[in-house]
Structure 1
């Protein structure tokens, strides 16, 4: 008997049980340790000299790499374990030269007057959120998932429900601190190194090693006054989202959750300090462990308008406990009142543990039986995009976040500038939106034959046709040629040459492509016949 194969088979089949019985308590212990460490460092105060020592060690490692004979040098990457990041893929770091950087995880300084925060790259969203709220501020772009690292978002992309006012996370970066291929430390700003500054977002660590980051922050109040507005036609919610996001006095936060092609709830949030008895009676701490998952709570407002006051910390991480609605497929029954009452305090499953426990069979299933995509498109394409998602995947809910995408002119980075027709009148930006499609496609849930990779490639083709772009943390199904048609690599290649990154760091496509052979899976799907049979979506573990 092959014990290893048997163990993998059991881990695949009973993954939900393992997640509840092992993943939740292990993840909680791990997260508690990180929180305790962050609190101790917070009490001791930031020590810039420790940061300088850590950066000097990174520089020394890079210089030792550069001193090797050319034929022995492998492309460099960080030593962060692939199961620790939030990407769906598993990077082949064993093929690259890993630079030890795991101790760069501390908040260094907050300048309330300048409204900036300086952090090391592995500071998490949750860590920064707690630190800043206690000081009356938040990140200008504050993601909903606590485990996301600020360095990872800066080198990739970040967007949230305040992005209709400030744009993508890269628009809020004041400075990057980067160690280049020759071991030099640069403070990269829009003025000091304009080309590198524009090319670093979406580069995924292929231009240099990020060792520090300075980001914009904004002042806040204690709560968010959330107003829920149901929409019962696609035309209504598409028009309303554009109207709200382009208003001169737009709400502080805007989002919509779509529950069917024509049914959505639009959410409008404003910073608030509830003081009257009537206001305080409407406070709803949605983040407490026993509360329903946020998207299920929002669904109730399809029946009529309503409002409530949500503590800011709870609002910013409102999708964290259920990882939007992905946990529903990992732990069926996780939103049941009894489960929440008994085990909800350990939620969500630690994403790092989910990846760590992913067997090859589970990884293949997540690639072929699940969709996890954030796709950003012009608002002019909102109705067509929802219809395309409905046609291809037949899965709900989906989310809509509006976001500015600025026109920075020629040579502005990997994102192609918005089409002139999509520009907001009199502004230097277009209003785009994030289409969040997460979960198991409807046909698979019904046990029907479904070619997931074919569908994803069709969605990517649609995205390219309307001048949109997918976030690259998720699996990419494009060929290298198709990737270059969607993204503009002109400046990226210029910067790679200018800073000697060629050969020193992996190519962008090699860094973001899935480890699963896309073309082989396409061939498999092409060979399916009518005897395809059924599959069990409960076996999918994220």
Structure 2
């Protein structure tokens, strides 16, 4: 960390012309930099974080004591002179968040939230109560040996359950369970006056409805209760290669129940990986016990092929099935961060590299953010795309077409997900358009479209305007009634943002629970710290000059 801080300091002091040369050299030799510096430093950084977490477990008090300290700090903030108060936010460093943005916490009044424990497993009610800083890695290690899993488990080891609660997410089980927040039965929140409120579907209902997608703009989360499901030790996964865009789109809709009027048993897990406009592999998975007739693939082992590369092999092999241990399956995309690592290390999936150095992967997202200077952030902002966009699955063909046109980046990730109609102004998500509703149900079938990595135009050194491309994608999303996950950079004006999301109830709840003047507004919390429109203009001018 000391080395990286020194490097960043030296970089900041250099003349602009030198900075441009350094950035050009780093771009040209990025694989060498990642291999020689980033991977070893990231590994050591990860060890330090684990040591810190272990020390914290021995030094922290009880859950109630820690919550009372948070309350005390908020109450002390309330006693400050109003003219000198800054808006509240957590003291958690930006680099520990998986969000791509860098919220300007130094301009806010920061409150530590040292809440990292799993509090209670309630097998009778099929729930688990946790503190917000518990990670996906923590909860899978705790639940799976006991025969349970979260109803929705995001694939990244470092994602926190509290971050997902306020930011939501989905998994390959979401065609059954819905979005992550649909699995939360209660939130425990310290609100602006320092009191603790427990919000459920019955008590503090409007707060309960607006906490998802609130991104910490309504209060401090200090506990939450999530639904769990019974599991078996393996997922029996079937790989189905499909040729033809219409064929794989129709299969995704049929398997997920987008057309179904009557109850039907659908697979426990569904995922699609689109490798080109005309080729995809669709995976279905069901909980299973060990079967000696079916091969077992411990796909998250360091020496194994990256999961999406393994999936791609079935385009040639043909349809097949295997057993994957459940935790391996749930974290299958962790080592290659889906397929982002390939843009850092083109040889990362090479057998020799995996065998000798695969244990160093993935680069720790926290380390990558920790070592990102404002200059590097602005540069990488224009050179890559990292977006999860939720769109009606009936429009899947159009999604693939526009993503190809704007980003030219494959593979594309597709997870089907039910979006439940909770009625008018029942949270930040707008009601699904009636034309997308599954007949005889209270939900529409949507899907996550994951677009990750370096766009094809950037790789081929062609003109690429990231702001123009993303704004076109966001307009398409608004036009079809979709929405963006807000952990990623957004490119919307506030007016456009309020067309995508319904803030009617949210604004009322902010007033009711004193969040106005205490916490940042949702739009201000999630918009990029960069001036994206200025960057778009710079790119447009650059394109004109090159013509």
TM-score class normalised by the smaller sequence: over 0.9
- Alpha carbons 1:35, 1:127 under 8 Å: kept: no
SS in 2 for 1:254: strand
For residues 392-541 of structure 1, what are the structure 2 equivalents within 5 Å?
Answer: 392-529=406-543, 532=546
Q: Which residue of 1 aligns with 2:107?
A: 95
CA distance in 1, matches of 2:169, 2:491: 21
Report the CA distance shift for 1:292/1:408 in structure 2 as closer, same or farther (over 3 A): same
Q: Structure 2: which 5+ residue stretches go unaligned?
A: 1-8
CA distance in 1, matches of 2:151, 2:542: 48
2:236 is aligned, of 225, 246, 250, to: 225
Q: Which residue of 1 aligns with 2:298?
A: 285
CA distance in 2, matches of 1:529, 1:402: 38
Q: Deviations over 1:3-22 (max 9, x none)?
A: 64459775855654444334
- Alpha carbons 2:382, 2:466 under 8 Å: kept: yes
For residues 349-364 of structure 1, what are the structure 2 equivalents within 5 Å?
Answer: 349-364=363-378
- Does residue 255 (structure 1) correspond to residue 276 (structure 2)? The answer is no
Q: Deviations over 1:215-234 (max 9, x none)?
A: 11111111110101111011
TM-score, normalised to structure 1's length? 0.93
Following superposition, the deviation at residue 471 of structure 1 comes to 0.3
Following superposition, the deviation at residue 241 of structure 1 comes to 0.7
Report the CA distance shift for 1:29/1:129 in structure 2 as closer, same or farther (over 3 A): farther
SS in 1 for 2:449: strand
Q: Which residue of 2 aligns with 1:537?
A: none
- Alpha carbons 2:210, 2:505 under 8 Å: kept: yes
CA distance in 2, matches of 1:3, 1:211: 39
- Alpha carbons 2:101, 2:529 under 8 Å: kept: yes
Corresponding pairs, count: 526
Report the CA distance shift for 1:54/1:26 in structure 2 as closer, same or farther (over 3 A): farther
Q: Which residue of 2 aligns with 1:214?
A: 225
More moved, 476-485 vs 14-23: 14-23
Report the CA distance shift for 1:401/1:504 in structure 2 as closer, same or farther (over 3 A): same
Following superposition, the deviation at residue 530 of structure 1 comes to 5.6
Q: Which residue of 1 aligns with 2:40?
A: 25
For residues 226-375 of structure 1, what are the structure 2 equivalents within 5 Å?
Answer: 226-246=237-257, 248-275=264-291, 277-279=292-294, 282-303=295-316, 304-375=318-389
Aligned alpha-carbon RMSD (Å): 2.1
Q: Which residue of 2 aligns with 1:112?
A: 123
CA distance in 2, matches of 1:33, 1:113: 38
CA distance in 1, matches of 2:467, 2:512: 37
SS in 2 for 1:345: helix
SS in 2 for 1:59: helix
2:82 is aligned, of 51, 62, 70, to: 70
Q: Which residue of 2 aligns with 1:196?
A: 207
- Alpha carbons 1:23, 1:350 under 8 Å: kept: no
- Alpha carbons 1:38, 1:106 under 8 Å: kept: no
Q: Deviations over 1:17-57 (max 9, x none)?
A: 44433433343345446657878999x9xx9x700000000
Q: Structure 1: which 5+ residue stretches go unaligned?
A: 534-542
Report the CA distance shift for 1:119/1:41 in structure 2 as closer, same or farther (over 3 A): farther
Q: Deviations over 1:274-310 (max 9, x none)?
A: 23x312xx00111110111100110011121011111
- Alpha carbons 2:467, 2:533 under 8 Å: kept: no
- Does residue 50 (structure 1) correspond to residue 62 (structure 2)? The answer is yes
More moved, 52-61 vs 241-250: 241-250
Following superposition, the deviation at residue 358 of structure 1 comes to 1.3
Q: Which residue of 2 aligns with 1:536?
A: none
CA distance in 2, matches of 1:84, 1:90: 11
Following superposition, the deviation at residue 156 of structure 1 comes to 0.6
CA distance in 2, matches of 1:342, 1:354: 22
- Alpha carbons 1:173, 1:215 under 8 Å: kept: yes
Following superposition, the deviation at residue 450 of structure 1 comes to 1.3
Following superposition, the deviation at residue 73 of structure 1 comes to 1.1
TM-score, normalised to structure 2's length? 0.92
- Alpha carbons 1:231, 1:263 under 8 Å: kept: yes
Following superposition, the deviation at residue 2 of structure 1 comes to 6.7
Q: Which residue of 1 aligns with 2:216?
A: 205
CA distance in 2, matches of 1:263, 1:15: 30
Following superposition, the deviation at residue 399 of structure 1 comes to 0.5
Following superposition, the deviation at residue 439 of structure 1 comes to 1.0
Q: Which residue of 1 aligns with 2:151?
A: 140
